[in-house]
């Protein structure tokens, strides 16, 4: 299936590019430091990262899972499917909640988020009305 027909399908090059963005952002391009952080052999990263011998495939589940565990602010949706932004505070919050068993706190945070979003939209509407009147 071609990526142009289905935007949720990532090519090897796109996935490798996103992994490199993580390495560049958190490790200043140091692949070895990244490998150590996710407890993976540095040479094994060459299987899918740019500069490796042939870039033969996608990172395995273990690499993706450990990357997301080490960096809970990285969006899983972005890493796997290329949708959205690399850094996602909601994903980080969900990871924090999952690690700390704070399911009730998550509901409170979601409620607060909805309240603040509604307040923002109301302010935006009021500002638009003020501009239209002037």
Q: For residue 44, with 0-12 CB atoms within 10 Å meaning exposed, 13-18 middle and 19 or more buried, which class applies? A: middle
Under the banding of pLDDT at 50, 70 and 90, the label for residue 99 is low
The model's pTM: 0.58
DSSP-assigned beta bridge partners for residue 117:
none
What residue has token string 């909601």? 90
How do the domains of the chain map onto residue ranges?
A: 12-94, 103-133
| 20-59 pLDDT per residue, tens | 899 998 899 898 999 999 998 888 887 777 765 545 667 8
| CATH superfamily name and code, 12-94 | lambda repressor-like DNA-binding domains (1.10.260.40)
Q: Average of pLDDT values for 119-131?
A: 79
């Amino acid at each position: 299936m071609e990526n142009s027909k289905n935007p949720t399908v990532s090519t090897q090059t796109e996935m490798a590019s996103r992994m490199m963005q993580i390495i560049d952002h958190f490790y200043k391009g140091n692949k070895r430091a990244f490998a150590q952080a996710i407890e993976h052999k540095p040479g094994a990263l060459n299987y899918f990262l740019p500069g490796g011998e042939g870039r033969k495939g996608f990172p395995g589940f273990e690499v993706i899972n450990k990357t997301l565990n080490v960096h809970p602010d990285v969006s899983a949706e972005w890493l796997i499917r290329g949708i959205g932004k690399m850094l996602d505070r909601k994903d980080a919050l969900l990871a924090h909640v999952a690690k700390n068993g704070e399911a009730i706190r998550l509901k409170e945070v979601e409620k607060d988020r909805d309240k603040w979003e509604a307040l923002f939209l109301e302010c935006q509407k009021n500002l638009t009305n003020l501009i239209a009147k002037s």
